[in-house]
Amino acid sequence: MFGIDLFDGALAPALAVALVAGILSFLSPCVLPIVPPYLAYMAGTSIEDMRREGGPDRRVDRRVMTAAAFFVLGLSTVFLILGLAASAFGRMFLAYQREMALVGGVVIVLFGLHFLGVLRIPLLYREARIDAGDQGGTPFGAYLLGLAFAFGWTPCIGPVLGTILSLAAQEGSIERGLFMMGFYAIGLGLPFLLTALFLRHALGLLAGMRRHMPMVERAMGVLLVTVGLLMLTGGFTSLSFWLLDTFPVLATIG
């Protein structure tokens, strides 16, 4: 069983933010469009083969599902390592937690305003990707690609991931920070697995989702501005107390 130090009702708002942030990261303009070619490359097949129905495609489905699982494992490895580092940093500077929250809140609000189009931050238009080499078609190659993708700084994932890492640092507990990053990994990784599991239906759905990219960006902006303001005002603490008062059962979890 999880100890109360690892999980309690007070952590629920941050976990919800991490989960939603992961889902929005998957739907973002720099992730969603590359999902089909990534899956095809990792499985050693083509998008046309993935679309084809009948007979031998069952083998393609298995390869795609295996590749997606190892890709998500690579993503999760990096996110947990980053969460460990952020939590350890926050624990070292626990005495300055309020100052860290203020600085983090300001930066996160600026990120959110960037997504809302209120201001533009040139740094967020750069990408830094690690080349995983020509490793397509193998589970190990998919794992390496997951590692490389997670380390990439893109206009979409970077600010959102930074927000979750800031929240993890505020926890002052390595275990709770890792738990939070695990929820972010679930939010980003589970749609990859569902796409691979329901491959042919998902390909059509993903193609249709592309026209909604501006709405996803705005949703990410609203989420980041909200989180930043909560950090600046101490609203996460107030929200946690409200949840515990409204849903007393949360106080028994642990």
The string of pLDDT tens digits covering residues 153-187 is 555 677 888 888 888 887 767 888 888 899 999 99
Q: Does 17 reside within a domain? A: yes
Structural domains in the chain (count): 1
Average pLDDT value for the chain: 77
Let me know: does 40 contact 199? Beta carbons within 8 Å.
Answer: no
Share of the chain above pLDDT 90, in %: 10
The answer to whether position 4 is within a domain reads no
Q: What confidence score (pLDDT) does residue 16 get?
A: 87
What span, in angstroms and rounded, lies between the C-alpha atoms of 107 and 225? 10
**132 in a domain, yes or no?**
yes
Residue 186 lies in a domain: yes
Q: Identify which of 19, 28, 27 has the alpha carbon closest to the alpha carbon of residue 186.
A: 19
Question: Does any domain span residue 160?
Answer: yes
- With H, G, I as helix, E, B as strand and everything else as coil, classify residue 128: strand
Residue 235 lies in a domain: yes
For position 88, what pLDDT does the model report? Answer: 85
The residue type of 217 is: E
The answer to whether position 157 is within a domain reads yes
Put simply, whether the predicted model's pTM sits higher than 0.75 gets the answer yes
Phi, psi of 243 (to 5 degrees): -65, -40
Q: Domain residues for 143? A: 9-252
Q: Judge whether residue 239 has pLDDT over 60.
A: yes
Query: What does the alpha-carbon distance between residue 180 and residue 80 come to, in Å, rounded to a whole number?
Result: 9
Please determine, for residue 77, whether its predicted confidence score (pLDDT) is greater than 90: yes
3 falls within a domain: no
Reported confidence tier of residue 215, pLDDT bands at 50, 70, 90: confident
